[in-house]
Amino acid sequence: MFSWLTKRISSLPEVNEVLERVKRKEKVMVQGISGSRKSFLVAGLWQESSRSMLVLTYTPSEAERIITDLRSILGAAEEIVLFPAYDLMAHEEAYEKETAGARLSVLGRLARGERLLVVACWPALQRKIIPPEVLRKFTFRLAAGDEMEREFFLQKLVAMGFERTEKVDRSGQFSVRGSIVALYPPDR
């Protein structure tokens, strides 16, 4: 959409220096840019880079605004993802399944090696996250036509934390009716 503008931004000497540091796999922190200029800078860097990127901002509402800007600029909605913060404080006992599922989805995609532009706010990164090696241990792909021994599959679901129920109506649940296993993944 705005490729002409992001290409022009990418050609600026300051942006070129940041891009060269990114290509050398150095950590880069950019400060002092305000408004939509941040989003255009990130979009320019994203188009020139072949790696995943993390954009860190200060509040959940600012993260949402940056996501909206980036999707308008780049038009690549599936690659631009929000790593959401919980609304609750760490000591509160309620559980936000939707937020947990969205976070798990982003982490799973990164663990599978997908190239993502992740936008997060500081509160989202203050909570502990599951290490990639643990996440990989508790995930597997099963596609239409694949075969797996039924009891092994059911045991694996239980070991992964799925709840067996009569009827599946929430994420993280599964049910068994004869040879049919219905499940609702936690990241959907």
What is 152-164 written as a DSSP string?
HHHHHHHHTTPEE
Asked if residue 94 and residue 21 are part of one domain, the reply reads: yes
pLDDT, residue 1, reads: 61
- The answer to whether residues 95 and 103 touch, using CB atoms and an 8 Å cutoff, is no
* CA distances in angstroms from 66 to 44, 47, 70, 127, 160, listed in the order given: 14, 16, 6, 21, 34
CA dist., res. 84 & res. 123, Å (int): 9
pLDDT, residue 93, reads: 59
**Domain residues for 98?**
3-134
Asked if residue 58 and residue 117 are part of one domain, the reply reads: yes
CATH of the domain at 155: 3.30.2060.10
Asked if residue 124 and residue 146 are part of one domain, the reply reads: no
Asked if residue 77 and residue 158 are part of one domain, the reply reads: no
Asked if residue 90 and residue 23 are part of one domain, the reply reads: yes
Asked if residue 171 and residue 111 are part of one domain, the reply reads: no
pTM value is 0.78
CATH of the domain at 101: 3.40.50.300
Asked if residue 158 and residue 92 are part of one domain, the reply reads: no
pLDDT, residue 90, reads: 59
pLDDT, residue 122, reads: 93
Asked if residue 54 and residue 113 are part of one domain, the reply reads: yes
pLDDT, residue 116, reads: 96
pLDDT, residue 79, reads: 93
- Residue ranges, the chain, pLDDT below 50: none
Asked if residue 122 and residue 50 are part of one domain, the reply reads: yes
pLDDT, residue 92, reads: 63
Number of domains within the chain: 2
pLDDT, residue 110, reads: 92
